[in-house]
């Protein structure tokens, strides 16, 4: 899967309209009092479970399109499948990455990765997982017709080099490849079963081909997906015997959780979480995510001048937007990638974030004065109103109005262009669809816990660099970071890249949005972070009391 993507394109369900994968609608607070954004604490985990549970009813925002993530990735399918299928590496709740079905990994040289596959793992039919299954899976993911093919663009060969060993060779050192193996590029399938099922693999009525803590017991299209604990699992056995998934949107999800008809959900929608906040019988947990709300300047040119972009950033009331548009469940943020991307060197990235001054939570009179001076001295002032593109969902409308107010405050004209939610996703992938807007109110996240995965949006020839930012030094730094295997060295490079990106205001960050877990107050255990999309979260789910 692509390292970076708009939520409209990959769809953390509930944050935006459907594009190519999972989906939903972004809403603001549905009643209740907005939280103080300064008091929202993000924790990657919930308390450990102490007791067994026979069955749990879990809600998704929609039915999975497929359980073959190579052909139809989506957050609904991923939320289910991550408990069934395992990956070579595993994303942890704190967003770090560790070997999983890989027992050992070595790098004889910077362009070579040797993976020793874990012994003693069985698929759900009881047969042993072999190195041939792993190699088959990697080659399937790398197929140009599959969604993960881009993760293998730097790979020159993948070969079996021992009874439990695979050697991967690269054109250049690749710092992000093992992180890809903690995502869908690292899923391990049983070769025999995938080949037997052919085009039916991943569809209702088919058995899974995996080795995880749960097996797929049934998928009744239009009704439910049921997982049952796999008693032959090589790792720690789950406390919950069965997990039944059904799907509901917006108010139906809120009602099901409030009445106890459902035991839990990763809501992702800030509006759904706000509607559940403080309700009896429900615990809300908020965890780190890579997701952010951003303003993306377009090719049209109203924000072509970097001084105009900087002025807008300085004058934007992020705290007000977070409170009125997102119930206080979004946090004003100075970079366009969320803290869930800090899968290493967290202290370095935390300190670097605090040093950025171009995106204040609430602008001071000095910020406004500085912004007005930037506008006054700008080389290219916009000829007409700056057009702000959005749809009619509450959160994005609040941002759009905040942008208009900020522009007017610094002496610039602005207007809002609102399109139906069904058309909103076209802004991201179709240049002609955004031809009449100067800036897009956007949602964005990356699928790996490494900020360098975001910052290639600013590379000169990148398809997401709409405003045409060009810096040879920036491009070289990003390429260097992607090839730097040492975490500390890469973090230093990323901080420099981040400074260059924000100094040029290539994108204008607004806020980071957390992962939201709504859980019956009798249950605990699963991660609260974005890791739930790639981590077997149900395996740690259980009762609070023994």
Q: Are residues 107 and 148 in the same domain?
A: yes
What tokens appear for 26 in the block? 């972004």
Predicted confidence at residue 269, as pLDDT, reads 76
Residues 534, 227: Cα–Cα separation, whole Å: 16
pLDDT in tens, 360-388: 999 999 999 999 999 999 999 999 999 99
Question: Could you list the pLDDT tens digit for every one of the 546 residues in the chain?
Answer: 444 444 443 333 333 322 222 223 333 343 445 666 656 889 999 999 999 999 999 999 999 999 999 998 889 999 999 999 999 999 999 999 999 999 999 999 999 999 999 999 999 999 999 999 999 999 999 999 999 999 999 999 999 999 999 999 999 999 999 999 999 999 999 999 999 999 999 999 999 999 999 999 999 999 999 999 999 999 999 999 999 999 998 899 999 999 999 999 999 777 788 889 889 999 999 999 999 999 999 999 999 999 999 999 999 999 999 999 998 899 999 999 999 999 999 999 999 999 999 999 999 999 999 999 999 999 999 999 999 999 999 899 999 999 999 999 999 999 999 999 999 999 999 999 999 999 999 999 999 999 999 999 999 999 999 999 999 999 999 999 999 999 999 999 999 999 999 999 999 999 999 999 999 999 999 999 999 999 999 999 999 998
Predicted confidence at residue 374, as pLDDT, reads 98
Q: Is the dihedral of CA 150, 153, 154, 159 positive or negative?
A: positive
Predicted confidence at residue 24, as pLDDT, reads 30
Q: Is residue 439 part of a domain?
A: yes
- CATH code: domain of residue 61: 3.40.190.10
Q: Are residues 261 and 303 in the same domain?
A: no
Q: Are residues 216 and 250 in the same domain?
A: yes
Cβ-contact 539, 49 below 8 angstroms = no
In the chain the first and final C-alpha atoms are separated, in Å, by: 40
Residues 312, 300: Cα–Cα separation, whole Å: 17
Q: Are residues 236 and 327 in the same domain?
A: no
Q: Are residues 315 and 411 in the same domain?
A: yes
Predicted confidence at residue 40, as pLDDT, reads 82
Q: Is residue 206 part of a domain?
A: no
Measure Cα distances from 391 to 424, 427, 440 in Å.
6, 10, 10
Predicted confidence at residue 408, as pLDDT, reads 98
Q: How far is CA 543 from the centre of its chain?
A: 28
Residues 266, 533: Cα–Cα separation, whole Å: 10
Range of the domain at 147: 90-197
| DSSP 8-state assignment for residue 534 | T
Residues 323, 35: Cα–Cα separation, whole Å: 7
What tokens appear for 253 in the block? 């999800």
Q: Are residues 216 and 278 in the same domain?
A: yes
Q: Is residue 400 part of a domain?
A: yes
Q: Is residue 301 part of a domain?
A: yes
Q: Are residues 67 and 121 in the same domain?
A: no
Give how many domains the chain has, as a whole number: 3
Predicted confidence at residue 270, as pLDDT, reads 79
> Three-state SS across 175-219?
CCHHHHCCCHHHECCCHHHHHHHHHHCCCCCCCCCCCCCEEEEEE
Q: Is residue 258 part of a domain?
A: yes
Q: Are residues 317 and 433 in the same domain?
A: yes
Q: What is the DSSP string of 24-81?
A: -------SSPPPPGGG----SB-PPP-B-EEEEEEEESS--S-S-TTTS--HHHHHHH
- CATH code: domain of residue 146: 3.90.76.10
Q: Is residue 429 part of a domain?
A: yes
- CATH code: domain of residue 377: 3.10.105.10
Going by C-alpha positions, the residue among 499, 59, 50, 500 that lies closest to residue 267 is: 59
Q: Helix-strand-coil percent breakdown of the chain, rounded to 5?
A: 30, 25, 45
Cβ-contact 364, 319 below 8 angstroms = no
Predicted confidence at residue 33, as pLDDT, reads 57
Helix, strand, or coil (residue 155): strand
Please report how many Cα atoms fall inside a 13 Å half-sphere around the Cα of residue 39, on the Cβ side.
6
Please report how many Cα atoms fall inside a 13 Å half-sphere around the Cα of residue 317, on the Cβ side.
17
Q: Are residues 221 and 257 in the same domain?
A: yes
Q: Are residues 387 and 252 in the same domain?
A: no
Q: Are residues 282 and 237 in the same domain?
A: yes
Q: Is residue 23 part of a domain?
A: no
Q: Is residue 162 part of a domain?
A: yes
Residues 319, 328: Cα–Cα separation, whole Å: 8
Q: Are residues 296 and 281 in the same domain?
A: no
């Amino acid at each position: 899967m692509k390292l970076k993507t708009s939520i409209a394109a990959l769809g953390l369900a509930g944050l935006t309209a459907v594009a190519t994968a999972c989906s939903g609608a972004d809403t603001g607070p549905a009643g209740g009092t907005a939280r103080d954004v300064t008091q929202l604490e993000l924790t990657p985990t919930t308390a450990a479970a102490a007791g067994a549970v026979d069955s749990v009813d879990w809600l998704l925002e929609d039915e999975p399109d497929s359980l073959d993530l190579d052909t139809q990735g989506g957050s609904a399918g991923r939320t289910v499948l991550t408990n069934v299928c395992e990956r070579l590496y595993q994303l942890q709740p704190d967003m770090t990455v560790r070997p999983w079905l890989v027992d050992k990994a070595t790098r004889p040289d910077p362009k070579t990765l040797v993976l020793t596959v874990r012994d003693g793992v069985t698929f759900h039919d009881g047969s042993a997982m072999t190195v041939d299954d792993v190699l088959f899976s990697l080659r399937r993911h790398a197929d140009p017709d599959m969604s993960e093919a881009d993760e293998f663009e730097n790979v020159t060969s993948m070969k079996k080099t021992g009874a439990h060993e695979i050697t991967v060779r690269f054109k250049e050192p690749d710092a992000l490849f093992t992180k890809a193996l903690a995502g869908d590029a690292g899923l391990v399938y049983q070769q025999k079963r995938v080949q037997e099922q052919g085009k039916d693999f991943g569809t209702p009525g088919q058995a899974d081909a995996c080795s995880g803590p749960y097996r797929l017991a049934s998928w009744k299209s239009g009704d439910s997906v049921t997982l049952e604990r796999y008693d032959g699992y090589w790792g720690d056995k789950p406390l919950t015997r069965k997990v039944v998934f059904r799907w509901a949107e917006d108010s139906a999800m809120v009602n099901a959780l409030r009445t106890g008809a459902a035991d839990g959900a990763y809501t992702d929608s800030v509006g759904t979480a706000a509607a559940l906040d403080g309700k009896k019988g429900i615990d809300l947990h908020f965890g780190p995510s890579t997701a952010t709300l951003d303003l993306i300047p377009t090719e049209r040119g109203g924000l072509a001048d970097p001084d105009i972009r900087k002025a807008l950033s300085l004058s934007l009331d992020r705290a007000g937007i977070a409170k009125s548009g997102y119930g206080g469940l979004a946090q004003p943020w100075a970079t366009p990638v969320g803290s869930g991307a800090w899968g290493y060197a967290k202290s370095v990235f935390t300190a670097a974030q605090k040093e950025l001054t171009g995106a204040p939570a609430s602008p001071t009179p000095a910020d406004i004065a500085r912004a007005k001076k930037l506008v006054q001295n700008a080389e290219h002032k916009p000829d007409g109103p700056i057009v702000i593109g959005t749809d009619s969902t509450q959160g994005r409308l609040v941002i759009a109005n905040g942008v208009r107010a900020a522009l007017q405050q610094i002496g610039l004209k602005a207007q809002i262009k609102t399109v139906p939610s069904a058309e909103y996703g076209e802004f991201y992938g179709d240049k002609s669809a955004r031809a009449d807007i100067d800036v897009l109110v956007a949602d964005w996240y990356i699928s790996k816990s490494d900020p360098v995965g975001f910052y290639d949006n600013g590379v000169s020839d990148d398809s997401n660099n709409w405003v045409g930012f060009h810096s040879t030094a920036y491009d070289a730094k990003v390429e260097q970071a992607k090839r730097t295997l040492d975490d500390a060295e890469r973090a230093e490079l990323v901080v420099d890249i981040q400074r260059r990106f924000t100094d040029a205001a290539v994108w204008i960050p607004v806020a980071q949005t957390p992962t939201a877990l709504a859980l019956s107050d009798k249950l605990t255990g699963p991660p609260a972070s974005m890791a739930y999309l790639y981590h077997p979260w149900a395996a740690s789910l259980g009762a609070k009391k023994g």
